[in-house]
Amino acid sequence: MNLYGAQPDDKPAEKGYSTQKVAHLVGMAPNQVRHYVRRNLLAPHKGPKGEYRFGFQDVVLLRTAKSLLDSGISPRDLFRALASLKAGVDPAAVLSSVRISAQSGAVVVCSEDRVWDAKTGQECLQFAAHSATAADTVQPLWTYLNEDSGDGDDLSSDEWRQLGVDLEELDVAKAFEAYSRALEVDLGNADAHVNIGRLYQLKGNLKNAKSHYEMAVQAAPEHQLAYYNLGTLFDELNEPELAAGFYQKAPKVPDAHYNLARIARQSGDDLAYRRHHERYQRLLRKEGKER
């Protein structure tokens, strides 16, 4: 019974950071920040006076770039690698949707299922590339945003949620706080409710977990991860009929069918068992093709 959390969807910032603020936040000169725009590696929004307004994910990318430069990667190699990477990234995605780090003098990219050299495209070994980048970018951002600077007030609800997702691999308590901040900004953020509910459930606090899953469904009635996680919650309470009812509302989640097949087998319904087991296998194959 794997629990699922909602992942970042890279929505643009509602307010954004000025060039001066970004420069201060990432430790670069303002002209260096603008250089990334001139090279089309960043595409910030324009403010009412035509000034650049950078989003949270722009800050993440620039902090990553700064950490790579500090590790000895030359500016020339960095810009070439980022340009090559951007050319190969899905237009709907952004450079900051992958992890970028330095490994043996090369710029290495880590996505969900592979690690490769950004300049050559060659596959690399996966050791440490992901966690090192997370530590170099997310942790400093968290520290800065929680100082008395007030910059955390500029983040949208989804940006706090995105930060929470990244923090989970480093510090669950801070991730929990980031999700809480997301809900302070927008109580109707269904994905934040799902993620904080999952953390409650993992700690054994099923009452609070259930409350957040239900608020997610109220905010987004078609939220399948919320329904699925509600199913796992009632599975834990040994109430298979209630669990099955929620799994039925998450038909696109493979594990929902896996659990429905298990419940059907326990109840002696072989037809339902075969149907859900086949659906589970089909969804797994589909996910494999999409990746």
Share of residues in the chain with pLDDT > 70 (%) = 73
pLDDT score recorded for residue 254? 94
Q: Could you say which architecture CATH assigns to the domain 1-186?
A: Orthogonal Bundle (1.10)
- What is the C-alpha separation between 227 and 233, in angstroms, rounded? 10
Q: Name which CATH class applies to 187-290.
A: mainly alpha
The per-residue pLDDT for 130 is 41
Sheet holding 106-110, edge to edge: 99-103, 106-110, 115-117
Domain spans of the chain, in order of start: 1-186, 187-290
Q: Is the pLDDT confidence value at 104 over 70? A: no
Give pLDDT tens digits for 16-39: 678 988 888 788 999 999 999 999
pLDDT score for 128: 43
> Hey, which of 58-72, 90-104, 119-133 has the most confident mean pLDDT?
58-72
pLDDT band at 132 (very low <50, low <70, confident <90, very high): very low
Q: For 85-102, write each residue's pLDDT tens digit.
A: 777 654 444 555 556 666
CA distance 165 to 188: 18
Q: φ, ψ for residue 267 (rounded to 5)?
A: -90, 0
Tell me what the mean pLDDT of segment 178-191 comes to: 95
127 falls in which pLDDT band (50, 70, 90)?
Answer: very low
What's the first-to-final CA gap in the chain, in angstroms? 22
Paired sense of beta strands 115-117 and 106-110, if any: antiparallel
Query: What's the pLDDT tens digit per position in 241-290?
Result: 999 999 999 999 999 999 999 999 999 999 999 999 999 999 988 877 54
What is the average per-residue pLDDT within 197-210?
96
CA contacts within 13 A on the Cβ side of 147: 8
